[in-house]
Amino acid sequence: MDEFAQFLIRHCSPTLAGVKTGSLFNYPTDNIKEPEAFISLWNKELEEKGIQLRILRESEKKVLIYVYRERCLGNILQEEKAGHILKKYGYDGMNTEECIQHLSLRCKNSSCFPHEIGLFLGYPIHDVEGFIEHGGKNCRMCGCWKVYCEEESARRTFALYEKCSRIYSRLFYQGKSIGQLTVCL
C-alpha cells in the first residue's frame, strides 16, 4: 500500500472530506527522490476535487507538506479579522497564492511554526488571536488546536475530525483510494 497515501489518510482525512480547510504533516525525504515532482503528481490527481499540496519547508530528512482546500483558504484569508492578524506578519495585500508563499518563507526562516499558521489550517480566528495574544499559554482546552473561547464548539469539531479520521482510515484499508475518498467541493 502506498506509504504517502497512508500519511494523507492519517493526517489529512478531515481536509480530504471537506470538513477542514488544511492539514500539515512531515514526510520522510528518503521515501521520495524529487519532492516537488512527487507533489506535482499528487496535485494533478487531486486538483479537480479542490485539493492542493504544497511543500512549505524541506530539510535533509523530511518535507513539511501542507494539504489544503484553496477556495476555503481564500475565504478565510479574506475575512477582516484574519487580515488584521496576517498584516502583523507581513502578508498585507497578498492573494492566496502569495500568502502561501509567504507562509512557506516564514516556516523556512523560523525554528517553530509561525503563529498565524492556524488560519491556514482553518482554526477559528478567535483561537488564533488567543494563541498569539497569550503566547500559546492559558488556553481553556487543548485538542487539535489550543482553544481560548467557544469550548463546546471546539469539542464538537474535535469529535468530527476524529470520527472522520476513523471512517476514512477504515475505508482506506478496505481498498478505497485517496481519489475515491476525497470530496469534491
CB 122, CB 140: distance < 8 Å: no
169 inside domain: no
Task: Output the pLDDT for position 84.
Answer: 95
170 inside domain: no
Task: Output the pLDDT for position 182.
Answer: 97
140 inside domain: no
Model confidence at 185, in pLDDT bands (50, 70, 90)? confident
The Cα–Cα gap between 174 and 162 comes to: 18
Domain count for the chain: 1
The Cα–Cα gap between 1 and 14 comes to: 21
- Mean pLDDT, residues 163-185 taken together: 96
The Cα–Cα gap between 178 and 59 comes to: 26
141: β partners: 147
64: β partners: 26, 57
163 inside domain: no
What is the model's pTM? 0.95
- Mean pLDDT, residues 82-107 taken together: 95
Task: Output the pLDDT for position 161.
Answer: 98
Model confidence at 33, in pLDDT bands (50, 70, 90)? confident
150 inside domain: no
138 inside domain: no
141 inside domain: no
Domain with 116, as residue range(s), is 3-124
183 inside domain: no
Query: How would you label 142-163 residue by residue, b for 16+ Cβ within 10 Å and e otherwise?
Result: eebbbbbeeeeebeebbeebee
The Cα–Cα gap between 12 and 53 comes to: 11
